[in-house]
A and B are shown apart, each in its own frame.
Chain A
Amino acid sequence: MTAPLPLTILGGFLGAGKTTLVNHLLRHAEGRRLAVLVNEFGELPIDEDLIEAEGDDLISISGGCVCCSYGSDLTAALMDLARMEPRPDHVLLESSGVAIPGAIAATVGLLQGYRLDGIVVLADAETLRATAADRYMGDTVTRQLEDADLVVLNKCDLVTGAELSALRGWLQDRHAGLRQVEARQAAVDPAVVLGGFDGAPVSARTPENPVQSRHLRLDGPVDDPAALAGALAQDRLGLIRAKGFVTDRAGARFLIQVVGRRAACTPAPGPVSAPDGIVCLGAGGRADWPAVLALGARTSEEA
Chain B
Amino acid sequence: MTTIYSARKIITMCASQPTASHVAVRDGRILGVGPLDSLTGWGDYTLDERFADKVLMPGLIEGHAHTMEGTLWKYAYCGYFDRTDPVGRDWEGIKTLDGVLNRLKEADALIADPDAPLPGWQFDPIYMDNRRMTRHDLDKVSTTRPIGVLHASGHIMNVNSKALELGGMLRTGINHPGVPLGEDGLPTGELKGPDVMTPIGVHVGFDRSMLDCDDDGLRNFGRLCVRAGVTTTTDLAARLEDDTVDMMLKVTGEADYPARVVALRYFMGMTPRELVDRVIALRARSTDRLRLGRIKVVTDGSIQGFSARLRWPGYFNGAPNGLWYVSPQQLREVMDLALAEDVQIHTHTNGDEATDLVLDTMEAALRGQPSPDHRFTIQHCQLADSAQFHRMGKLGMCVNLFANHHFYWGDEHYRLTVGPERAERMNACATALARGVPMAIHSDAPITPLGPLFTAWCAVNRITASGRTQGEAEKIGVAEALYAITMGAAYTLKLDGEIGSIEVGKKADFAVLEDDPTEIGGGNLKDVRVWGTVQGGRVFAAADQT
Chain A residues with a Cβ under 8 A of chain B: 13-15, 40-43, 69, 71-76, 79, 96-98, 100, 103, 106-107, 109-112, 136-137, 139-140
A41/B269 in contact, CB under 8 A: yes
Shortest distance from the beta carbon of B206 to any chain A beta carbon, whole Å = 12
Shortest distance from the beta carbon of A82 to any chain B beta carbon, whole Å = 11
Chain A residues positioned under 8 Å from B270 (CB to CB): 40-42
* Residue B195 interfacial (CB < 8 Å): yes
Return 25 A-B CB contacts under 8 Å, by A number. Answer: A13-B327, A14-B330, A15-B329, A40-B269, A42-B274, A73-B194, A73-B208, A75-B195, A75-B199, A76-B208, A98-B324, A98-B325, A98-B327, A100-B323, A103-B195, A106-B175, A106-B177, A106-B178, A107-B196, A109-B174, A110-B174, A110-B196, A111-B199, A136-B324, A136-B356
Shortest distance from the beta carbon of B318 to any chain A beta carbon, whole Å = 15
State in angstroms the CA–CA spacing of A267 and B328 once bound together: 45
State in angstroms the CA–CA spacing of A150 and B449 once bound together: 47
State in angstroms the CA–CA spacing of A112 and B199 once bound together: 11
* Residue B169 interfacial (CB < 8 Å): yes
B328/A137 in contact, CB under 8 A: yes
Chain A residues positioned under 8 Å from B169 (CB to CB): 110
**Besides A98-B323, A110-B176, A111-B199, 20 other CB < 8 A contacts?**
A13-B327, A40-B270, A69-B269, A71-B268, A73-B198, A74-B195, A75-B198, A97-B327, A97-B329, A97-B330, A98-B324, A100-B323, A106-B177, A107-B176, A107-B195, A109-B174, A110-B169, A110-B179, A110-B195, A111-B168
A106/B176 in contact, CB under 8 A: yes
Shortest distance from the beta carbon of B314 to any chain A beta carbon, whole Å = 10
User: 9 closest A-B pairs (Cβ-Cβ)?
Assistant: A98-B324, A75-B198, A107-B195, A42-B271, A40-B269, A106-B176, A71-B269, A97-B327, A112-B168
Question: DSSP class of B's interface residues: helix, strand, loop or mixed?
Answer: loop
State in angstroms the CA–CA spacing of A74 and B175 once bound together: 18
Chain A residues positioned under 8 Å from B269 (CB to CB): 40-41, 69, 71-72
Chain B residues with a Cβ under 8 A of chain A: 168-169, 174-179, 194-196, 198-199, 202, 208, 268-271, 274, 309, 321, 323-330, 353, 356-357
A14/B327 in contact, CB under 8 A: yes
State in angstroms the CA–CA spacing of A91 and B164 once bound together: 25
* B187 to chain A: closest residue by CB: A110
Chain B residues positioned under 8 Å from A71 (CB to CB): 268-269
B327/A76 in contact, CB under 8 A: no
A140/B324 in contact, CB under 8 A: yes
B326/A98 in contact, CB under 8 A: yes
Chain B residues positioned under 8 Å from A110 (CB to CB): 169, 174, 176, 179, 195-196, 199
State in angstroms the CA–CA spacing of A71 and B237 once bound together: 14
Chain B residues positioned under 8 Å from A40 (CB to CB): 268-270
B321/A139 in contact, CB under 8 A: yes
* B196 to chain A: closest residue by CB: A110
Shortest distance from the beta carbon of A264 to any chain B beta carbon, whole Å = 13
* B167 to chain A: closest residue by CB: A110
Chain B residues positioned under 8 Å from A111 (CB to CB): 168, 199
